[in-house]
Amino acid sequence: MRSFFISLFFIIESCIALAQQRKDSVYSGNPVFQGWYADPEAEVFGKEYWIYPTYSAPFDKQVFFDAFSSPDLVHWTKHSRILDTSAIKWARRAMWAPSVIKNKDHYYFFFGANDIQSDKQYGGIGVAIANNPAGPFHDHLGHPLIPAFHNGAQPIDQFAFKDRDETYYLIYGGWRHCNIVRLKNDFTGLRSFDDGSVYKEITPEGYVEGPFMFYRNGKYYFMWSEGGWTGPDYSVAYAIGDSPFGPFKRVGKILQQDPAIATGAGHHSVINVPGTDEWYIVYHRRPLTETDPNSRVTCIEHMYFDKDGFIKPVVITNEGVKERMIK
């Protein structure tokens, strides 16, 4: 009889453990996947979520990109080295901040490389192409798409944006300046605007780097990172405008550190679940146990709006978000 109760006890304990495991598994947890990754761009392709981050390491080791896919925001599959310097002959280091967008039957991967400090150096923003979101990607041009400084903007931190009229733009810039350019339909170059200009500056107050834009309820939301990426006060702020060109007046910060959870919360992207008004923010942060600037991890939280359309401050968590499949 005693052995029966002992066995019963272990069965009950196992069931509780399995139930707890299942309960925990429906949350993504933060970080959402292991490894040092930063500057995450999140996209939806078909019924899958994708995250394309920077490999967070010293500049000379940043010579490749990994990607991650998920059907539900909880279970992630790693796709290793979908693009690296063997495919981009002009890139040698500091491959940063991917932005991936679908155009017709191809996927285009925009990235920064070489961390150029002046027009005397070779590098800037490039673009690669593949037949599916997992790559492998190969060089679309054989040279940088944007190889120089314009309006003071370092050619990094590019974000590809498709407007409602199906015009494609690239929004980019470091060193506290942000430009918007119009892409040719095949992404082989840039198109002039109606006034003959190619590079329009749209820098809002407080802008440092990491631009992102989305459209909701008749308004364009322009977001960016503030502060220094190596420090604890890295953060995300935003503005609202009536067009992709603004003018954009800063509203305020919506993502920043919580000293009880993590520091350096910034350089983000946003997911809108297709057919809904559900929104998520994907960003990087630095664990409290870490002091190395490159010790950054990718996390996800809900993003909510108030009744007037302003973004509510994001609460950063260790739990992350619940399972959410795309219907």
**Per-residue confidence at 220, pLDDT binned at 50, 70, 90?**
very high
pLDDT digits (tens, 9 = 90+) for 165-185: 999 999 999 999 999 999 999
Chain centroid to Cα 211, Å, comes to 10
Contacts 24+ apart (CB under 8 A), 118-121: 118/149, 119/148, 119/149
Residue 242 a catalytic site member: no
What pLDDT, on a 0 to 100 scale, did the predictor assign at position 25? 61
Mean pLDDT of 9-32: 57
Q: Domains in the chain, please, with CATH?
A: 33-302 (2.115.10.20)
Could you report the per-residue pLDDT of 44-66, keeping only the tens digit for each? 999 999 999 999 999 999 999 99
Strand 200-201, strand 179-183: pairing: antiparallel
Average confidence (pLDDT) over 238-257: 97
Q: Is the pLDDT of residue 5 over 70?
A: no
> Which pLDDT belongs to residue 71?
98
Whether 66 sits among the annotated catalytic residues: the reply is no
C-alpha 245/C-alpha 220 separation (Å) is 9
pTM as predicted: 0.92
**pLDDT higher at 17 or 105:** 105
**Of the listed 43, 66, 115, 209, which one is catalytic?**
209
Backbone angles phi, psi at 158, to 5 degrees: -85, 145
Q: Is the pLDDT of residue 141 over 60?
A: yes
Of 39, 41, 43, 115, the active-site residue reads 39
